[in-house]
Structure 1
Amino acid sequence: MAIAGKGGSVYIGTNKVAEIDQWSVDFKADTKETTNFDSNGWKEFIQTINEWSGKIEGNFKPTDTTGQAALITAFMNGTTVSVEFRIDSTKKITGTAYLESIGLEAKVDDKQTFKADFRGTGQPTVTLT
């Protein structure tokens, strides 16, 4: 059964980031080839080091001092944030991350938007129950 995205949210520490309307988290693993004479003509690999990253996007709200403004401050200072990507009230992905980029966009005929890209540092916690 599919899960509606409307239950999602993003938190920095204990503070909800205001007006976010989409987020994504990506996990990636490095692999190293281990092919040898016993591989029967097929390449073989092992998984080595993992990493994760995330992105958020939504409406720009400069008065969100503990959310969007806090992310901008963390980016400017080069400090990590504790970020929580919530699928719903119990399912979430939590970790420590640096901000790789912050984006603000304003168009004359559209809303102003905010986006941020995270690079995880260390292993995240995935809670799917």
Structure 2
Amino acid sequence: MATSGRKTVVQVSTDGTLFNTVQELNEAAATIEGDNQDITHFGDDFVRRIQGLKDTSYELSGFRNPSDINGQEAILDAFLNDTTLHVKFLGDGTSGFQQEVKVASFEESSAVDGTVEVSVELEGTGPVTRVTG
């Protein structure tokens, strides 16, 4: 059953136990990829593969809110201090993924005819855990 994207919740934590919602986001994506390795040999008619390492990334964007101390500012602090964060990506608002991450980029942008916006990329470090609501 389809769910509305407006219900998506992204939360971060510095310790993996107390999570806070990142405020004013309007786009979020979680990507989980597997590095499939070709193991085809002579005599095979089709490619054979095994899965090697898995990798994850999270893309977040929205309106910049410096007063979001436990969300946007926690992400920026983790980036500036080279510390890890924990992220919960809940696509339907209650179920999704949880993982320890490193902040790969934190971008703030603005235009004379627009708003101040933020764009963040997080990269997973370690296993993904499923979250069920």
Q: State the TM-score, normalizing by the size of structure 2.
A: 0.89
Q: CA deviation at 1:37?
A: 2.0
Structure 1 ranges of 4+ moved more than 2 A: 126-129
Matches for 1:1-129 after TM superposition, within 5 Å: 1-13=1-13, 14-40=19-45, 42-127=46-131
Q: CA deviation at 1:65?
A: 1.1
SS class of match (2:102): strand
Q: CA deviation at 1:128?
A: 5.2
Following the alignment from structure 2 to structure 1, what is the Cα–Cα distance between the partners of residues 3 and 60?
19
Map Cα deviations across residues 63-115 of structure 1 (whole Å, 9 max, x no partner).
11111111111001111101111223421211110000001011110011011
The question of whether the paired residues in 1 share the 8 Å contact of 2:3 and 2:92 is answered with no
Map Cα deviations across residues 32-67 of structure 1 (whole Å, 9 max, x no partner).
211112313x22221111111111011100111111
Q: CA deviation at 1:125?
A: 1.3
In percent, how many aligned pairs have the same letter? 27
Please tell me the root mean square deviation across aligned C-alpha atoms, in Å: 1.4
Q: State the TM-score, normalizing by the size of structure 1.
A: 0.92
The question of whether the paired residues in 1 share the 8 Å contact of 2:4 and 2:92 is answered with no
Paired residue total: 128
Which consecutive residues of structure 1, in runs of 5 or more, have no partner in the other structure? Answer: none
Following the alignment from structure 1 to structure 2, what is the Cα–Cα distance between the partners of residues 113 and 60?
5
Amino acid at match of 1:31: N
Which consecutive residues of structure 2, in runs of 5 or more, have no partner in the other structure? Answer: 14-18
Amino acid at match of 1:30: D
Amino acid at match of 2:42: F
